Amino acid sequence: MEGKKKQIAILGSTGSIGTQALEVISEHSDLFEVEVLTANNNSALLIEQAKKFKPNTVVITNEEKYKEVDEALFDLGIKVFAGQQSLEEVVEGENIDVVLTALVGYSGLKPTIRAIKAKKNIALANKETLVVAGDLITKLCQEYGVNIYPVDSEHSAIFQCLIGEQYNPIEKIYLTASGGPFRGRLRNDLLDITKAQALKHPNWDMGAKITIDSASMMNKGLEVIEAKWLFDLKAEQIDVIVHPQSIIHSAVQFEDGSIKAQLGVPDMKLPIQYALGFPKRLPNTFKRFSFMDYPNLTFEKPDMETFRNLQLAYDAMEKGGNMPCILNAANEIAVAAFLQDKIGFLNMSDLIADCMEKITFVSKPTLTDYVATDEATRILANELL
């Protein structure tokens, strides 16, 4: 039995997705085992997790924390490494079956590429990797015979709707969006939004960056681009529908007009479990959905004038090349600046639009071009602040 357990590497185990993945693994310790855990700064939680799950290896990217982690785990025989380079190397470990990418932002790109080249299947939470370099990542997956199992709830929903439909092309997909805490507001209502208001999401408890992205609708924009690459779609095949209850996680329409949707209470543990357990649906004790609790599931058109980020993401996707990479890097700087009270809520879109206009466009970027674009955009965005 021991040899058959799926060996999981969790990149970003101390975050919202990482900790929920560990809960899933705990519930199914007969099926899964932790091989690698990584964190950036949170050494205390990383140590606690390592003591509980006894991985082969841990990585703390902040090198100043290396000594603390190494001393705490030395007696357990757990290998401890530090730094960005180690994060990229650790995914190649020969025992690893699946790499769960739960890092935030651009930091996921290089480790994901290394994991694909080492023929590890990817459970992908880190959507920014596909936004930045979807073309490169999908080609590498084909070349190395690697599967991507989406963790993002909308993409997991679509993935689930596509099971058994390999002969049936997608006509279009409906990506649902909660609309975030500012749904229904107009631009003037958003001028003085504080970060505390933006950090309160109505339906999901997530890391800070994605919570701000959800409030600004950039999260949905990133997800549109993520869907393009995961399911090989054109812009006109991807519709965003605001659905405030977050019960329908997304839907697929086929060529006969039939629509399949996946439903459930909002809980990331389900898509995490589905990605790790694929192709099996595993029993669990998660809360069950009751139709009677939701007599009114409602739908609205997204307001792309107030929430400009969604339009910017569609624009970047249609332009292609390094434009989504520019969008992503500018957004990362914008969100960090908003969280430090350096810019207002609406200024985030201004900054992103500015960068999209000013950074040199590359139509067929290589990895080197993506790295250079990310760097140049961060420099420009910081200057523009």
| Structure-token match 């919570």, residue found | 211
The DSSP 8-state label assigned to residue 189 in this structure reads G
Considering only 7, 14, 176, 373, the residue that binds ligand NDP (CB under 6 A) is 14
The nearest distance, CB 270 to ligand NDP, in angstroms, is 11
CB of 17 to ligand NDP, least distance (A): 4
Name every residue whose Cβ is closer than 8 Å to that of residue 363 and which is 6 or more positions away in sequence.
320, 321
Element (H, E) at 20: helix 16-27
Which of Mg ion, ligand NDP, none does residue 175 bind to, with CB < 5 to 8 Å depending on kind?
none
Shortest CB 113 distance to ligand NDP, Å: 15
Distance CA(308)–CA(305), nearest Å, equals: 5
For position 152 contacting Mg ion by CB under 5 A, the verdict is yes
C-beta of 42 vs 254, nearer to ligand NDP:
42
**68 to each of 47, 71, 80, how far by Cα in Å?**
9, 5, 10
Region near ligand NDP per CB under 6 A, out of 181-189, 190-198, 201-209, 294-302: 201-209
Whole-number Å distance between alpha carbons of 270 and 362? 38
CA distances from 151 to 17, 195, 315 (A): 9, 26, 25
x/- mask, ligand NDP, residues 97-116, rule CB under 6 A, reads -----xxx--x---------
Task: Give the number of residues written for the chain.
Answer: 385
CB closer to Mg ion, 24 vs 210: 210
- What does the radius of gyration of the chain's CA atoms come to, in whole angstroms? 20
The CB-of-95 to Mg ion minimum distance in angstroms stands at 30
The helix/strand/coil state of 59 is strand
Judged by CB under 6 A, the stretch of 122-130, 138-146, 180-188, 332-340 that binds ligand NDP is 122-130
Q: Say how far apart CA 139 and CA 137 lie, in whole Å.
A: 5
* Nearest residue (CB) to Mg ion, 154 versus 369: 154
Q: How far is the CB of 182 from ligand NDP (least distance, A)?
A: 19
Interface with ligand NDP (CB under 6 A), residue from 18, 221, 277, 324: 18
138 contact partners, CB below 8 Å, separation of at least 6 = 130, 229, 232
Site string for Mg ion, 153-192 (x = CB under 5 A): xx--------------------------------------
18 alpha-carbon distance from chain centroid = 11
Give residues 309-368 in contact with ligand NDP (rule: CB under 6 A). none
The reply to whether 303 sits near Mg ion by the rule CB under 5 A is: no
> Least distance to ligand NDP from the beta carbon of 53, Å?
14
